[in-house]
Each structure stands twice: as structure tokens, then as C-alpha cells.
Structure 1
């Protein structure tokens, strides 16, 4: 009887011991993964920028400017008059195309048609959202856009691939308030 009582008491004491949480077999440090991802993105962006600069250097017919937003642009048709540019909420009527860096057409102007873009109020290619606000009615600008300011790591799900830099020639037709 005493033996049974001792066995039962020891089982109860051992059963009530504090349970230690199990640790993962291969603990990973999320900070390390984040740092590696950032380093990889920096390398990818540097390679992409090198490709873009090479394309710009080969295009001797245009003078490209660098935007603080990470894209390059060159005026095809510049208006020197002091006329307004699109502001937030304006409707900018544009035509545009999209090509790869070598100039192969991905989406033609005819395919995309005329677009009425509500400035900064609708989803659009982020570099063009900024670029359109630089334009005056009648101007045409070619934008060279790195992937992170275009369609990024997902592409457009159709013709534009992942991490693909693009060029787009945009003409601002009209601005409506």
C-alpha cells in the first residue's frame, strides 16, 4: 500500500512539473534573413541601374535627366512656355507605350489607347505618377523606369516580367480640373 502511495505521489509530483517550451531544431534569426534580403535587393538594384545607365549612354539622340524618385527621363517634345502642369486630383489625358530597355514594344500606344489618369488618385505605374506631374500639355517625354518604380517583383501578370525595367514614352494631351 505504501509502495502504491509513493508511486502515485511521485507520478503526481513529476506530472505537475513546469513544462519547458520546445525550441526549434534550426533556430533562425529573422533579423539575419531581413539583412540578407536587403543586401540582395541592393545588389539587384545596382545591376538594374548599370543596365539602365548603359542603355542611356548608347542613346546619343536624347539627354536624360535623373529624377530624385529613381527614374530617368528625356524630353522628346519640350514646351518652353510657362504653362501649368497637372496637380493632384486633375484629370491628365495621356497616350503612352511601354517597351523593354532595348526598345522592343511590350504594349503599343494603340493597344493602351488614350488614358484619363486622375493624378495621384488612382493606381498607375509609380514613376509615371511622378513623371506626369512634370509635364505640360503637348509635351512628350521618354521615361526609363527601374522595376521597383514600374511593376516590381510581380510584373504585370501578362507581358512584363518580374524585376523588369521598362521604357515608356508619354504625351500629355490635356489637363482637366
Structure 2
């Protein structure tokens, strides 16, 4: 019995001293998701640019011009006033606007969106419209074409505007009140 106990003790002590072995990972992650996402976004951008280009060709009388902000703008009406002031940071801009899809379908009418007072760069407003207001003067009406990344982007507005939707917006600035 002592021999058996001694043998078991020696056997256990030999195998108990074994160092732990590192486990190999089950899967190896690569950067394939990022690469696939970049390819998908490039295809989306090309499709949007093509659709916007087709819209501009179909509406050549509006004379759209590319802005430095990454969207297209057409001056519908320009008021001849001595006031050549564009809104600056903190100014209150009173404006009306609507939103449409490139196919001409109205998404939000001006009456649905209502007349708005906006404190320049102090409140939330989608990027394209915020930058577009900076180009305008009181009394002017512009039509903008915003690519999706300048509008509501990947998520849309979670209501009527779908994801990755380029938008057309007709904007009229009623007044600009400078900050004191």
C-alpha cells in the first residue's frame, strides 16, 4: 500500500510541475472589414455623384455651381440691397427651407419645417445647411444640392429621410440679426 501511495505521489508530482501552454487563437482578425467598407463607400460616392450630375444636367437652367464646402448651389433670387452682410458666428438667421429627393419627390415642405430662427454655429443643424447659410444674405433664395455626407449621412433623420440620401433644399433667408 505504501509503495502504491509513493508511486502515485511521484507520478502526480511529475505531471503537476508541467508549465502551462499558450492557447492559439481560434480565428485571426484581419483588416478586411475596413477594406470592404472603403470599397462600399467609394461605390456609394460614385453613384451619388452620378445622380447629382444627372440632376444638374436635367436642370441646366438653374446654373448650379460647386461650392468649396462640398455641395452645389444655385442662386434663385438675389435681392439688390446695400446690405451685403452674410451671417457670422452667433448671428440670428430667420429662414425658410424645404427638402426634396433628387427624383423631385418632396420629403418635407417649408410649412412642415416651419420658419426657423437659427443662432449661427451655436445650434444643431445638418452640416450642408449650416454651411450654406453662411453664403447667403438677407432676402436671397438659393437652391442647394447636398450629397448625403453633407445632409443626414448614414442614418438619415430616422423618419422620412433614408440613409445615404442626397437632398435638394430651397432656402430663403428672411432676416439676419447681428449679435450685440
* TM-score, structure 1 normalization: 0.91
Deviation at 1:167, TM superposition (A): 0.4
Deviation at 1:61, TM superposition (A): 2.0
Deviation at 1:69, TM superposition (A): 2.1
- The yes-or-no answer on 1:126 pairing with 2:123 is no
How many corresponding residue pairs?
A: 173
Q: What is the CA–CA distance in structure 1 between the aligned matches of 2:23 and 2:136, rounded to whole Å?
A: 61
Q: Which position in structure 2 is the counterpart of 1:2?
A: 6
Q: Which position in structure 1 is the counterpart of 2:25?
A: 23
Q: How does 1:15-54 map to 2 (within 5 A)?
A: 17-25=19-27, 27-29=28-30, 31-54=31-54
Q: What is the CA–CA distance in structure 2 between the aligned matches of 1:62 and 1:5, rounded to whole Å?
A: 94
Q: How does 1:154-169 map to 2 (within 5 A)?
A: 154-169=155-170
SS of the counterpart of 1:110?
helix
* TM-score, structure 2 normalization: 0.90
Q: Which position in structure 2 is the counterpart of 1:75?
A: 75
Deviation at 1:32, TM superposition (A): 2.9
Deviation at 1:80, TM superposition (A): 5.0
Q: How does 1:74-153 map to 2 (within 5 A)?
A: 74-79=74-79, 81=81, 83-153=84-154
Q: What is the CA–CA distance in structure 1 between the aligned matches of 2:10 and 2:79, rounded to whole Å?
A: 98
Instruction: Return 5+ residue gaps in structure 2 as ranges.
Output: none
Q: What is the CA–CA distance in structure 2 between the aligned matches of 1:22 and 1:151, rounded to whole Å?
A: 44
Instruction: Return 5+ residue gaps in structure 1 as ranges.
Output: none
Q: What is the CA–CA distance in structure 2 between the aligned matches of 1:174 and 1:51, rounded to whole Å?
A: 33
Which structure has the greater CA radius of gyration?
A: 2
Q: What is the CA–CA distance in structure 2 between the aligned matches of 1:12 and 1:171, rounded to whole Å?
A: 82
Deviation at 1:36, TM superposition (A): 2.0
SS of the counterpart of 1:174?
strand
- What do you get for the CA RMSD once the two structures are aligned? 1.4
SS of the counterpart of 1:152?
coil
Q: What is the CA–CA distance in structure 2 between the aligned matches of 1:79 and 1:42, rounded to whole Å?
A: 40
C-alpha distance after superposition, 1:57-97 (max 9, x if no partner): 10022111101222111000123555100011111110000
Q: Which position in structure 1 is the counterpart of 2:64?
A: 64
Evaluate the alpha carbon distance shift between residue 87 and residue 51 of structure 1 in structure 2; reply closer, same or farther with a 3 A threshold.
Answer: same
Q: What is the CA–CA distance in structure 2 between the aligned matches of 1:121 and 1:10, rounded to whole Å?
A: 72
